[in-house]
Structures are given as C-alpha cells and as structure tokens.
Amino acid sequence: MTESSDKKQLLHLVFGGELSSLAGVQFKDLSALDIVGIYPDYATALVAWRAKAQSTVDNAEMRYFIVHMHRLLDPENK
C-alpha cells in the first residue's frame, strides 16, 4: 500500500560503515556497508542516524551519514 500525502517528500538515505582512516571518507569494505534506510524527511532520518551512531560509539572508525537524496533527484530545486 502506498502512502499519499500533500506534504512533499524530501527523501534522505542513512548509511554507514567502517572507515579506512579517520582522515577521510574511504570505507574499508563496501560490501559491508550498513544501509539503515530511506526516510521521508530530515527529522526522521536524523533520529535513525543518531540511533545507529550511538550504537557504534565504541568503534572510532565506524561512521554513519545522512544523504539528501532529494537534492540528487532534483538538483535545481534544493
């Protein structure tokens, strides 16, 4: 079932993985990336990001990111 709403979807992807070095954004193993999910707005994505980041706080090389997919899908209307 699809969700219909008048509110514009601003899709955000939350994902993460272990970095090769803390100095950059190069992942050790691309096949081990953790795709947390795609969310309809930034606030929801931030909650998911915060939960995953907090759960991996003991691993300094593990990083999670929020990607603004709506900016990639429609770059002229940021």
Tokens representing residue 8 in the block: 């514009």
Q: Would you state the pLDDT for residue 3? A: 55
Considering all CA atoms of the chain, what is the largest pairwise distance in Å, rounded to the nearest integer?
A: 43
Handedness of CA 21, 22, 27, 32 (dihedral sign): positive
pLDDT, position 1: 44
User: SS3 of 6, please?
Assistant: coil
Q: What pTM was estimated for this model as a whole?
A: 0.82
Q: What is the pLDDT along the chain (78 residues), one digit of tens a residue?
A: 455 556 778 999 999 999 998 888 999 999 999 999 999 999 999 999 999 999 999 998 999 999 999 888 877 776
**Residue 3, φ and ψ in degrees, nearest 5:** -100, 125
Q: Residue 68, SS3?
A: strand
Report whether 17 contacts 33 (CB < 8 A): yes
pLDDT number for residue 10: 92
